[in-house]
């Protein structure tokens, strides 16, 4: 028995939609949010894996660091 490997898509935003990509043979469109700490999510219908590209991951990491630094500087005052 041959098992099909689920598709992997690289995306640039945290919020993405999936409809199975096969028109009438797909599944209902759903909206997914990629967790910041994980960087990827799988569609519960078709198991397609959506991986957040490094560009946005880097921006998020930089935002987190600047927020943490802001908090540290305000608590040190």
**What per-residue confidence (pLDDT) applies to 73?**
59
Place of tokens 């910041």: 36
* Mean pLDDT along residues 11-25: 89
Please state, rounded to an integer, the average pLDDT across all residues of the chain: 81
pLDDT above 60 for 56? no
Classify domain 1-56 at the CATH topology level: HSP40/DNAj peptide-binding domain (2.60.260)
Q: Give the domain ranges of the chain.
A: 1-56
CB atoms within 10 A of CB 26: 13
């Amino acid at each position: 028995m041959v098992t099909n490997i689920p598709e992997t898509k690289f995306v640039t935003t945290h919020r993405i939609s999936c409809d199975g990509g096969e028109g009438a043979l797909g599944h209902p469109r759903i909206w997914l949010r990629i967790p910041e700490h994980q960087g990827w999510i799988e569609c519960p219908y078709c198991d397609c894996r959506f991986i957040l590209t490094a560009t946005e991951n880097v921006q998020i990491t930089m935002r987190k660091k600047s927020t943490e630094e802001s908090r540290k500087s305000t608590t040190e005052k």
